[in-house]
Amino acid sequence: MRKSILILSLVTMFIGAAAFIVAADTAAAKPQTTCPVTGNPIDKAVHIDFQGQRIYFCCTQ
């Protein structure tokens, strides 16, 4: 009985971890379309590079 509970717990943890990894990859794959400050559409000419990622803005203000 204890062995069954242990195995079930481990399987549940692995499934949860796999779902978390897949969700993180899906969120990272979406291109940025709105300014993180104002919510307006982005201008590809206005950007900064921060921690290895390019972040776009709608204006320089």
- Per-residue pLDDT, 24: 66
Residue 53 domain boundaries: 31-61
* pLDDT at res. 15: 81
- Please give the pLDDT value at position 26: 62
Alpha-carbon span 33 to 29, nearest angstrom: 12
- Ranges of the chain with pLDDT below 70: 23-29
The single-letter DSSP state of residue 31 is P
Q: Do residues 23 and 45 both lie within one domain?
A: no
The number of domains in the chain is: 2
Residues 25 and 35 in one domain: no
Q: What pLDDT, on the 0 to 100 scale, is given for residue 12?
A: 84
* Backbone torsions φ then ψ of 40, nearest 5 degrees: -80, 165
Task: Report pLDDT for 21.
Answer: 74
Residue 23 shares a structural domain with residue 44: no
Cα 44 from Cα 48, distance rounded (Å): 10
Question: Are both 3 and 21 inside the same structural domain?
Answer: yes
The count of residues in the chain is 61
* 23 and 4 within one domain: yes
Contact between residue 40 and residue 34 where contact means Cβ atoms under 8 Å apart = yes
